[in-house]
Amino acid sequence: MTAVEEFAPAKLNLFLAVTGRRPDGFHDLVSVAAPLSVGDTLRAEPAAEFALACDDPAVPADGTNLVLKAAAAFVAATGWKGAARFVLEKRIPMGAGLGGGSSDAVAALRALNRLAGPEFALGAAELAAVAAQLGSDCPLFLAEGPVAMRGRGERLAPLPAAAAARLRGRRVLVFKPAFGIATPWAYGRLVAGAPGSYLPEADAEAKLAAWLGDAAAPAEALLFNNMEPPAFAKFVALPVLLENLRRDFGLQPRMSGSGSACFAFLGDDRAAAPVVAAVRDAWGPSAYTAEARLA
């Protein structure tokens, strides 16, 4: 095999309830996440040593990049003696809460699993275990549809088929300002916040169960994110625009993950251009926008 290519989809957190801080410093959560039809592309070809090139100069290409960390984890898990040169076409913005780095890492694991051949290839459970070592939200990119996430994000369960059908294929507009939000900062604000920053696990599970149990509830009824208040308190451009979109377009926009990317579901008969124009009028021409479908 001379070269392989893997798609690294972006993701949205449609439902995100951070329920508390764990003794190990991580946070527990209850979430529903879904991959998108837009994302990065990662190519890998055999090489004498591991290396990474990216078309976005802002993306680090050294050992701090999760692609190369994934390669090291794959070698440690399998004993494979080979190496690869990765070329990353970056389309998922950084600091967005769209999971770009984690998705790239999982794409690297998939690529190496193919390059290494059957002697060294990891099974599904082994691949998930290696992915979990790289980051809490990495395992979700091994799923092929919407999943419920628990623990620190490593405990995954596919949604019931009927519930997943309410999400799959939904058209969505994703938009992000020029600035990003660092995930450690966002979680730090929850830690420093007043009582009530977290949503108790029982309440989070009850909210999710209510949506799962109501076959008539649309995807919009699922949307929730208790990481919005700390982000909105500092980055006021986010809530101002979201309120304008609610008022002017009747949309139900939310922030994804720890931000700064936001999203809104669009009906198949709604033109996206006026919404995109409103986003760029508020956040400037450098704002990122992308139409996508939930996978």
> Which of these is catalytic: 11, 28, 40, 176?
11
Residue 50 · residue 61 · CB < 8 Å: no
Return phi, psi of residue 199, to 5°: -100, 125
The string of DSSP codes covering 168-221 is: TT-EEEEEE-SS---HHHHHHHHHHSPTTSSPPHHHHHHHHHHHHH-TT--GGG
Q: How far apart are CA 183 and CA 196, in angstroms?
A: 20
Tell me whether residue 234 is one of the annotated catalytic residues.
Answer: no
| CA quadruple 108, 109, 110, 112: dihedral sign | positive
> Which of these is catalytic: 40, 90, 137, 176?
137
| CA quadruple 175, 181, 184, 188: dihedral sign | negative
Query: Which residue numbers are catalytic?
Result: 11, 137
